[in-house]
Every structure is written in structure tokens, then in C-alpha cells.
Structure 1
Amino acid sequence: MLSTLLLIGFIIGIIIYLVTYVYGKGIPNVKRSLSVLCGGIILLLVSILLIGGFEGIPFGIVSIGVISMAIIFFIVGKSSFWKKTLCLIVLLYAVVFSAYTYFDKVNYWVVDKGNVESQGLLTHLHNIEGNPTIRGYKIFNILEGSKGIFLTLGEQMRGNTIELLDVENSNGRTEIKIRTNYNNSLEKNPFIVIGLDKIESEILITDTDGTVYKEISD
């Protein structure tokens, strides 16, 4: 996520620099670089003053990428060769990174709770219902050769439901992000089953409130 946001910032910086050519080819490199710097600072101020909090962090990271490009243009912008080389490197990296992300993307879905029995998960469902103190996740083989992650919140979260936000495979780790919402659910031990076409050796499941769920030991 961090590298993606920085890359976006780099590309925005390049775009701002190129746009300055619309207003004249004779504009000095310093002014072009200052335009990029101003764009990055404006984006940074927006992330802090207008958005703020956790939601503003991604915009702040993008602004760092824009400001970094401004600094680089200050240094190498006088050389036409290095300007073209720099832009080419960033754009090629963006293409390669996008292709890698696309082919490495994990397919995931939420298993319908009515299909838990057909997926061979009925025994574990009975276990968590019989012992609501069980909290965490367990990995199962489900139909069609896929993996299923059975996550339970424990009885202390009774009345909540689970919303799956995102699943990513990165650097040998499967990261799953969820959000819990209290809505008077009747489940004694709230649960969700997440299907994945591929899974890494390390798993990290986090809630938006910062809770980290660990694997259930047999």
C-alpha cells in the first residue's frame, strides 16, 4: 500500500511538471519544480487540515511522493537527458508494478452461511456454537481446492456482525481486514467464512478498531 501511494505521488509530480509546458517552453526549471512542490504542499495541507485523522494518511503519503519528485526535478531538471530518463523509469516501474499486482491479486469471497455444511465446516460451526468463548480463525480446505478461513469473534462480541473489507497477499503474508458492527445479531458467537483461491504461510487478520485475531490451536 505504501509503495503504491508513493508511486501515485511520483506520477502526479511528473504530470504537474509536464503540464507547465502548456504555459510556455521558456519557463525555467526552478519554476516548474516549484509548481510541483506547491502541488505536493497543497495536497499535504488538504490531508492534514481538511481530511485529517486516519483517512488523511493516504493523501499525506501521496503528497510525499509529489514533493519528492519536486526535489528530484530541482536537482536533475536542468538536464533534458536526466528528466526524460527519470520520467521513463517511473512510468516503466508503474507499468511493471501494475502488471505484478494484477497477476498476484488474490481472489476472495464470503461463503454464504447457508452453505457452511456443504463446505465441510459444520463440525467447527457446532464447536463455536457449543463453546462461545472460542475466538480467532481456523483454516480449512473447502470445495474446488480453495482455502476457507473460519473467523469467530467470541461471545464478548455477541450482537455484532462482520464485514469483510479487503484481502491482500504481500511478501509471503495474507492480510485480511474486517470491520465489526453492532446490530443486535442473534449469533452467540459471530462468525464469517472467507474463501480464497490462494493463501500465504503467514496470516494477519485485523479489525478497524485495531484488534488482531490469532489462529485457534487444536
Structure 2
Amino acid sequence: MFFIMFLFGLVVGLALYLLTYVFVKKIENRRKVLTVTIIGLLSLLGSIFAAYRVDTMSYGIAFLISSLGILVVGFLLTLFEKSVVWKKSVFTFVILFVVVSSFRIYINQVDYWIIKETKVFNEEEESYLQLLQKDPTIQGYKAFKQVVVLSLGEEMAGDSIEVLDVEEEGNTTVIKVKTFYNRSDEKNPFIAIGLDRVQSDVVIEDTNGTVFKEAPAVE
């Protein structure tokens, strides 16, 4: 998600620079670049303020990353301000970088769906879900052939889990989630994620920086 926001910031930075030609044609190029940089700095300050608030922290961090993308464009345009050839090269490089990165993200993404409790599981998966409620101390993830189950344990009772993104990096399935308190009545909050395929390695990351480990083997 954060890399996508950085790409978004690069596109916004280029768009802002092009807009200066539409609305303020007569000002010199240095001021046009300065305009992009100032907007990037203001966006950065606003995102830092939002990141300090608990309820808007994730949005603040995301826009902070996009602000860095705007500032990168401003920096590159400043660096090659006097050279038309290099300026065109900056535009070409940024556009190609965004296109190639977007294509790579598209290729690496995996179709996933959240399995509701009413959906029929196979015997092994059903037994594991029942075990989670009998033993709320179980915390971590359990990977099956096409399902990954994440449980938070009794210490996080009252929380819920939201899946933000699923990608593949080589032989690793990377799942990004967000946990939040919403007075859930589950003794051991969990989520079951259906996937087209599950790679040999699984990494599950929370937006607060927590990396969940594989759940301990239980009988």
C-alpha cells in the first residue's frame, strides 16, 4: 500500500508541475518547481499531523509517503532545472518507473476473499476454527492449502481484523492487515482468508508494525 502511495505521489508531483503551465504560464520555471516543492512540504506537514492522531494514523502515514513522492519530483526538477533534455529525462524516467512498478504490483497481487463463518470449511480447517474458540490462547497464523487463518489470542479480545492487501514476493505470500478495537464478542478474534494459492512461506504484517508468527502446533 505504501509503495502505491509513493507512486501516487510521483504522479501528483508531475501533474502539479504540468498544471503550472496551464494556470501560470508566465512565471519562470524555478518558481514552478518551487510551487510543486511547497505543495509537497505542506502535504508532508499535514500528513505528519494526521499520523500523530490515533484515529487517522494509517491515513497520515499513507499521505506522508505520497508527499515524499511529490518532493522527489520537486527535487529532480530542481536538480536538472537548467537542462531541457534532463528535464524530459526526469519525466520519462518517472513515468516509466510508475508504469513498470504498477505492472509489477498487478502481477504480484493475489485474488483473495474473506471466508464467512457460514461458509463450509473442510474437516481440517473446521476443526482448527473450533479449536481457536476452545483455546483462546492460540495466537498467530495457520496456513492451509488455500486458506490462511489468523488469530489474535485472548489478549486482544474485543478486536477485529481487516485485510488490506495480499501480494506474492517470490515464494512468500505477504498479507497486510489492520487490527482495531470494536468490542467484538469473540474470545479469540480470528479471520479466515481464502486465496487462489498459498506459497510455502507466509508473512502477515499489521499496520502497527506487528509481524504475526505461525501459531504453535496444538493437538
Q: 1:16-52 CA distances to partner (integer Å, 9 max, x unpaired)?
A: 2212222455532211211111111221222234x24
CA distance in 1, matches of 2:187, 2:62: 37
Percent identity between the aligned chains? Answer: 35
Deviation at 1:87, TM superposition (A): 0.7
Summarize the alignment of residues 61-210 of structure 1 with structure 2, pairs less than 5 Å apart.
Answer: 61-118=65-122, 120-141=124-145, 147-158=146-157, 160=158, 162-172=160-170, 173=172, 174-183=174-183, 185=185, 187-207=186-206
Q: Which has the larger radius of gyration?
A: 1
CA distance in 2, matches of 1:130, 1:59: 41
User: Structure 1 residues 111, 2: closer, same or farther in 2, change over 3 A?
Assistant: closer
TM-score by length of 1: 0.81
Q: Which is further off, 206-215 or 96-105?
A: 206-215
Is it true that 1:216 corresponds to 2:219 in the alignment?
no
CA distance in 2, matches of 1:181, 1:48: 23
Q: How many residues align?
A: 210
Deviation at 1:170, TM superposition (A): 4.9
Letter in 2 for 1:19: L
Structure 2 equivalent of residue 18 of structure 1: 18
Q: Which runs of 5+ in 2 are unaligned?
A: none
User: Structure 1 residues 116, 208: closer, same or farther in 2, change over 3 A?
Assistant: farther
TM-score by length of 2: 0.80
Letter in 2 for 1:83: K
User: Structure 1 residues 84, 217: closer, same or farther in 2, change over 3 A?
Assistant: same
Deviation at 1:116, TM superposition (A): 4.3
CA distance in 1, matches of 2:194, 2:101: 26
Summarize the alignment of residues 31-46 of structure 1 with structure 2, pairs less than 5 Å apart.
Answer: 31-46=31-46
Structure 2 equivalent of residue 144 of structure 1: none
For the Cα contact (< 8 Å) 2:205–2:211, is it kept in 1? Answer: yes
